[in-house]
Amino acid sequence: MKKTIVSLGIAAFIMACGGSSESASTTSGSSANAQAVAAADKPDGEKIYKQYCVTCHGLYGDMGASGAFNLQESKLKLEERVAVITNGRNAMTAFEALLDADEIKAVAKYTMKLKP
Ligand code: HEC
């Protein structure tokens, strides 16, 4: 009996994980289950920023190394930032090969929060 409960639990866990990465972006958290899973493996924009972006943009977005744009003053919308990060622009390198779409979106969102 105990065994049945355990395997049921495992099955529920596997079901909760499967498909969540695909549906998470389209169903904006209608199911509590999907939300919990999405939160668990959602890319951390701040972490990605500190890993890939500080060398040019600095910790607060205003360093401007290699002519990097001051992200505190950027007026770009989220989709436009995603495009710049994905494809690069002039001296900025493209991150398409380094980050997946979810990570690019997460780091783009993080740059919107960089304020003095
Ligand atoms: C090699 C240095 C370098 C790195 C690394 C870099 N950037 Fe940039 N970034 C630039 C430069 C230079 C520009 C300005 C491009 C231009 O003049 O067209 C820029 C522009 C931008 C813009 C557009 C701002 C605007 O308002 O036009 C965004 C958004 C941005 N970077 C985000 C990021 C993020 C997020 C990362 C990390 C994933 C990153 N950058 C990493 C150099 C860099």
Question: pLDDT tens across 64-96, in order?
Answer: 988 999 999 999 999 999 999 999 999 999 999
Work out the average pLDDT over 95-106: 98
**Which residues are CB-neighbours of 43 under 8 A, at least 6 positions away?**
100, 102, 103, 105, 106, 107
Residue 58 scores a pLDDT above 50: yes
**Which residues are CB-neighbours of 64 under 8 A, at least 6 positions away?**
56, 57, 58, 70
Q: Are 56 and 66 in contact (CB under 8 A)?
A: yes
pLDDT of residue 116: 73
Centre of ligand 1 from the C-alpha of residue 116, in Å: 18
Instruction: Give the integer Cα–Cα distance in Å for 59 and 10.
Output: 41
Best of 52, 86, 89, 104 to mutate for ligand 1, by most ligand atoms within 8 A of CB?
89
Residues with CB under 6 A from ligand 1: 49, 52-53, 55-57, 66-69, 71, 74, 76, 81, 84-85, 89-93, 95, 107, 111
Q: Whose CA is nearest to atom 26 of ligand 1?
A: 74
Q: Are 104 and 95 in contact (CB under 8 A)?
A: yes
Question: DSSP H helical segments within the chain, as ranges?
Answer: 2-17, 20-23, 32-41, 45-52, 54-57, 78-87, 101-112
Please, what are the domains in the chain?
2-41 (no CATH), 45-112 (1.10.760.10)
